Structure 1
Amino acid sequence: MLVRHSDGEEELITITRDEILVASVGVAPPGGVLRDSDDNEVTDIAYIRIRTFTARTPNELRQAIDAAGDVKGLIIDVRSNPGGLLVETAQTADLFLDGGTILVQVDRDGNEQVYSAQSGMVTDLPVAIVQDEFSASGSELLAAALQENGRAIVVGATSFGKGTVSHARDLSNGGAIYVSIARWLTPDRNQIEGRGVIPDIEVELTVEDIEGRRDVALYRAIDALRAQVETQGSASS
């Protein structure tokens, strides 16, 4: 490709097509440093963001958890996560569960497929999941699985409410139509479609929060984890 710069100089640029792998898991919180509502840096709680669920997500999450080291709590941020691959979503939830149901998939004939947890790698560390109204599909399955199995506190807004399996059917004119062929239920058999996952701690941002770039949902998640750690410490003493 020939490019002419503003000074009139021409340059020949070669463009190479390639597959760019973008990590589905990140560990940098908004602003780069995890801080509480008093603007103090938080070092004893790990932060992990799951952007989407891909084939690499479970392994990336394992690596992020290992890298976090000895922490007292974990925040999983699935805000604006649109979902992704179902099996990998279930494997992600399984990392935090030592048993129980992850989800139930029901087809149009009423046949059920139950996804059950096995033995996870992080089954006792306090967890808070931060979600918003754009958290959909797989992120809702993860939040509901950990919430209803008593493994996580969900903080934020009610999620999007996408709980169906869609299949593309080709049309004669070259187009396609997506048809729902199954729906998902939570471990307690609650429907996600059209309802979403209701948080344990609801957070509504004010204009002042937005203008001041105050991440209130993260603040509430930190507070909830600290309270849980303190309660566990009191119970064991």
Structure 2
Amino acid sequence: MIAVTACRLLVAASLAASATTLVAQGAQPADTAVLPPIAGISIQAGQIGLGSSAFNQQLALQGRGRLSRNVVTLGVESWMRWDHLMVLAGSHTYVPVRASATNYTTETSGAYGTIDLGVPLIMRKKLLVYPLVGVGLSTTSVTLRRNGAVDFITNFRDISSIGGRNVDITARRYQGHVGMGLDRVFQPQWPKLLMTFGLRAGYMGALGKPTWRSGPERVTRAPDLGLEGAYVRLTLGGVLAKRRHAAVPMVGSLLPYIGR
């Protein structure tokens, strides 16, 4: 849970940095921005598939409720463009989901970050449409609750006998995705900024198996659980006049995952 909390705090910091960047951008006339845009930043909200089938089978055997197969995501993304090549970086957290059954509660939460490459197929003054491909790292935490006496163990299939406190297990795994991006530029009456709204849609899958831990101990025989399936995100952001304005938010998006 500490890892996910740290990721959420850094996502929040990235959102704050995004707002600061756009406010600073607002000090310049909107028409100084390069069109088609060469850099941008946005906040994003959407949903993504949670590959929970195998995990739910184990939960059912233990008399626990089943987790949802989709989760709501919130995050931030920034990008730069050089002619027909785009580099994007984003960090997202997903809203915790909970499953309840008699005497049991299971809750999962997580976050992920990716770095992507895009190639604009349509590049007009106020419109970019591009396929993208990327890799990243996700962190998933699960809290299992049960009343009763407690004995510490690390075999997943024995967790149903643990009670009296929460049992937290955390996994990380590498992710890969392919998708499409769309950004449309518009200029509202206020603020005097070139803004963008857009869409990201595609499919995310796992690159390898997750590694589960409960504190410092490794959890054995745990089934897969993580981000896997179709995703869609709506975006709202701003055009940046210089690529360097996107550099700090891009680095901030990836900081939670560097060195993990």
| Fold shared by both chains (TM-score > 0.5) | no
Which structure has more RCO (C-alpha within 8 Å, separation ≥ 6)? 2
TM-score (ref. length: structure 2): 0.27
TM-score between both structures, scaled by the size of structure 1: 0.28
Greater per-residue strand proportion? 2
